[in-house]
Amino acid sequence: MATIKDVALHSQTSVGTVSRYLNGYQVKIENRHKIEKAIEELGFSINLMAKGLKTNITMTVGILIPTLSNIYSTKIIEGIEHYLDDFGYSILVCDSRDDVKIEKQKLKFLQDKHVDGIIIMPVDRYDSGKNIQETIDSGVSAVLIDRLTQGVTCDAVVSDNVNASYVVMQHIIERGHRKIGIIAGDQKIYTAYERLLGYKRALQDYNLPIDDNLIGYSDYTKIGGSKTVNEILEKNTDCTAIFATNYETTISTVKAVLDRGYTIGQEISIFGYDQTELAEITEPPISLVIQPIEDIGKKAAEFLIKRMKRDMANFPSIKRLATKIITTDSIRNIL
Amino acid sequence: MATIKDVALHSQTSVGTVSRYLNGYQVKIENRHKIEKAIEELGFSINLMAKGLKTNITMTVGILIPTLSNIYSTKIIEGIEHYLDDFGYSILVCDSRDDVKIEKQKLKFLQDKHVDGIIIMPVDRYDSGKNIQETIDSGVSAVLIDRLTQGVTCDAVVSDNVNASYVVMQHIIERGHRKIGIIAGDQKIYTAYERLLGYKRALQDYNLPIDDNLIGYSDYTKIGGSKTVNEILEKNTDCTAIFATNYETTISTVKAVLDRGYTIGQEISIFGYDQTELAEITEPPISLVIQPIEDIGKKAAEFLIKRMKRDMANFPSIKRLATKIITTDSIRNIL
DNA sequence: GTGAAAGCGCTAACAC
DNA sequence: GTGTTAGCGCTTTCAC
């Protein structure tokens, strides 16, 4: 592997000149040609490690996400990758497997790798914050996505969960439903917490009781979701509608309701979350909350670029992106 | 940020000793304690860039995939990440946006980053190979996943597309269907090519004609898929079954058929590809080919680890993983 | 077993 | 504008 020194020798210039050429500084036109020729002939390619050692800049951004294997996560990653690509950054991807301990470990790891910035979806509302703040204190820029967490001062991009949930409930309530079940998630997760909050707030505003029997706390997985749906349906024979607050439990809800022999939008109305595809192939299609996934990634990358350039205007900012609601006959009008 | 030198000073040893300690060599027990104490107190953490510069090892693996935003890709990435994690490797993720030129560029980029190995899903069967081989020649280990491509000598992990497709067709044919449409993909893509091959082979083996009108070449996207389905259905009013050969077109096929007012498994039978969730929520569920996605990632990582350790036994190996077939009433028995 | 020192490939300060 | 050179933090001989 040819080095800058070889190029200097081969082009009869010096390492300084070659380095300057490489970094876009003024170089005599004649030397520029000689250098380009040498680079070409030697197949030279810069050693980013050596460069990084010197400059402390790696042009790498770490992404730390609870789990990689769902479309939500990947679309975010893709959004980030595409945005950062134009700036020459590459991304180091880690998952925390929904575990604060692993999250802490990976954070340390990213620090060791000297990433220039980190985009992170915190595992939980309470414990993730401290670790993230420590990382920030060590000097790397960070941006939170999808979820907020306690004790961190940095930019964040989240979607408007409370409002989405509230609007969904409005829609359901205004069609005459009174016993509305919700498949909530672990309240340590920021989004799960906010979505339940919107549910409760809507009930209160409409003077409807908050009935604990109608609130099912699932683990937000498909299997856990099924269990929760069935529990709610068994405890509440008068339940007419169910709001599933994430993608996985939306699937379980549809499946559980179908398995019970009900028709969606008849015996049971369903409102779900994320992923339009599904909405299109059930009969009737499912009403859904659609999050601006790509935008979350893009916005987060935008923030990060800005902060990595040490532009600290309006720090910290929280960007709350609006969600869209698709309504279909999956919510029956029983008025 | 404390360096090895600080640790040496603080522990009254030398940089050599600290380095030896860090790399697991014998160190006098007394020094070991002093060093550990110093590391603790200084919050020392090794600079992987400096280490990499010296050793030419980055403990980083590049992953290059045509697109990040589908579950197929991410499950593979997750499988790789989890496997490599245990060995201390991290992953640098890039997407080639289905473009050989970008693929080449990113390959070069990963080389510059001095990744120790690369796992790549080539964009196409013909042109990707040359670029990949060049990268391999430069000294990094590489493993192909999902798709093979011309002119590359390295390990590969793919799923058994031809056979999967063949078995699907057997199933459909044996239920009496004769006019079977296929939503194929760009034949430059290895998997698309193989799946169509299995389709044709089955028809031949059953002495059925290969009718070009029944073969639709889609771009493997949801929108393109819909168009292709409708074309086939319009050109062939006697078509009774459709085989969609990837996830996106499976969705479009279901949707297009539903939009035409047909009942799945009645007027039109459908066989699809990937992603069990869908299969569960349509009525009837869709028959599907299920690929061993996680295994592909894991196996690829396994190969790579082996090769990075310079263990060249059985090089190159092609691992063809078996797919599973789920059959449902979406394929009507018309005998 | 250990310390001293060379050097990995690069950047940037310096003197010209 | 350019060449020379110190030094980023580490590993690895070498001599002890």
Q: How far is B78 from chain A (nearest CA, A)?
A: 6
Examine residue B53 and state whether it is found in any structural domain, yes or no: no
Q: What is the mean pLDDT of residues B168-178?
A: 98
CA of residue B114 to C1' of nucleotide D12, angstroms: 21
Same domain, A65 and A118: yes
Residue B213 and residue B218: Cα distance in Å, rounded? 13
Same domain, B184 and B208: yes
Considering only residues 255 to 294 of chain B, which have any Cβ-Cβ distance to chain A shorter than 8 Å?
Answer: 255, 258, 277-278, 280-283
Residues 39-98 of B with CB under 7 A from strand D: 46-47, 50-51, 53-55
Dihedrals phi, psi of B319, to nearest 5 degrees: -100, 120
| The predicted structure's pLDDT at residue A1 | 82
Domain that holds residue A242: 161-291
Same domain, B63 and B212: no
Same domain, B137 and B192: no
C-alpha distances in Å from residue A271, one per residue of A170, A225, A288: 12, 14, 6
| The predicted structure's pLDDT at residue B70 | 84
| The predicted structure's pLDDT at residue B18 | 96
A57 interface with B at CB cutoff 8 Å: no
Closest residue to C9 (CA to C1') is A50
CA of residue B97 to C1' of nucleotide C8, angstroms: 35
Examine residue A53 and state whether it is found in any structural domain, yes or no: no
Burial of B312 (0-12, 13-18, 19+ CB in 10 A): exposed
Same domain, B278 and B313: no
| The predicted structure's pLDDT at residue B46 | 93
Q: How far is A211 from chain B (nearest CA, A)?
A: 29
Query: What is the pairing mode between strands A287-290 and A324-326?
Result: antiparallel
Token digits of residue B251? 């969705």
Same domain, B174 and B279: yes
Residues of chain A with pLDDT under 50: none
Closest residue to D8 (CA to C1') is A54
CA of residue A133 to C1' of nucleotide D4, angstroms: 43
Question: Is pLDDT above 90 for B112?
Answer: no
Protein-covered nucleotides on strand C (Cβ within 7 A): 1-13
Question: Which nucleotide lies nearest residue A3, CA to C1'?
Answer: C9
Question: Which nucleotide lies nearest residue A16, CA to C1'?
Answer: D3
E-strand spans in chain A?
60-65, 90-95, 117-120, 141-145, 155-159, 180-184, 215-217, 241-244, 269-273, 287-290, 318-321, 324-326
Helix A222-235 and helix A247-259, axial crossing angle in degrees, nearest 10:
50
Mark yes or no for CB contact B283/A113 under 8 Å: no
- The DSSP call for residue A114 is T
| The predicted structure's pLDDT at residue B275 | 81
Q: What is the mean pLDDT of residues B173-200?
A: 98
Same domain, B180 and B191: yes
Which one of B59, B90, B110 would you mutate to disrupt binding with A, by most A Cβ within 10 Å of its Cβ?
B90
Question: Which nucleotide lies nearest residue A52, CA to C1'?
Answer: C10
CATH number of residue A83's parent domain: 3.40.50.2300
| The predicted structure's pLDDT at residue B69 | 84
On chain B, the residues whose CB falls within 8 A of the CB of A59 are none
Considering only residues 104 to 123 of chain A, which have any Cβ-Cβ distance to chain B shorter than 8 Å?
Answer: 108-109, 111-114
| The predicted structure's pLDDT at residue A254 | 93
Q: Which residue of B has its CA nearest to A247?
A: B277
Examine residue B243 and state whether it is found in any structural domain, yes or no: yes
Examine residue A335 and state whether it is found in any structural domain, yes or no: no
Examine residue B334 and state whether it is found in any structural domain, yes or no: no
Closest residue to D11 (CA to C1') is B54
| The predicted structure's pLDDT at residue B93 | 94
| The predicted structure's pLDDT at residue A283 | 84
Same domain, B134 and B182: no
Q: How far is B45 from chain A (nearest CA, A)?
A: 7
Question: Is pLDDT above 80 for B276?
Answer: no
Examine residue A62 and state whether it is found in any structural domain, yes or no: yes
> What is the residue whose two structure tokens read 């070449």?
B217
Examine residue A106 and state whether it is found in any structural domain, yes or no: yes
Q: What is the mean pLDDT of residues B18-34?
A: 94
- Contact yes or no for A248/A277 (Cβ under 8 A): no
Q: How many domains does chain B have?
A: 3
Mark yes or no for CB contact A280/B111 under 8 Å: no
- Contact yes or no for A301/A309 (Cβ under 8 A): no
Mark yes or no for CB contact A71/B70 under 8 Å: yes
| The predicted structure's pLDDT at residue A277 | 78
- Contact yes or no for A241/A253 (Cβ under 8 A): no
- The H or E element containing residue B272 is strand B269-273
Same domain, A171 and A285: yes
Query: What is the pairing mode between strands A241-244 and A117-120?
Result: unpaired
DSSP string, A298-317: HHHHHHHHHHHTT--TT-S-
Same domain, A35 and A155: no
Question: Is pLDDT above 80 for B280?
Answer: no
* Pick from A47, A68, A254: CB nearest B78: A68
Which one of B277, B295, B330 would you mutate to disrupt binding with A, by most A Cβ within 10 Å of its Cβ?
B277
Same domain, A129 and A198: no
Examine residue A334 and state whether it is found in any structural domain, yes or no: no
- The H or E element containing residue B60 is strand B60-65
Question: Which nucleotide lies nearest residue B32, CA to C1'?
Answer: C1
Q: Which residue of B has its CA nearest to A45?
A: B112
Same domain, A127 and A208: no
What confidence category does residue B79 fall into, taking pLDDT thresholds of 50, 70 and 90? very high
| The predicted structure's pLDDT at residue B197 | 98
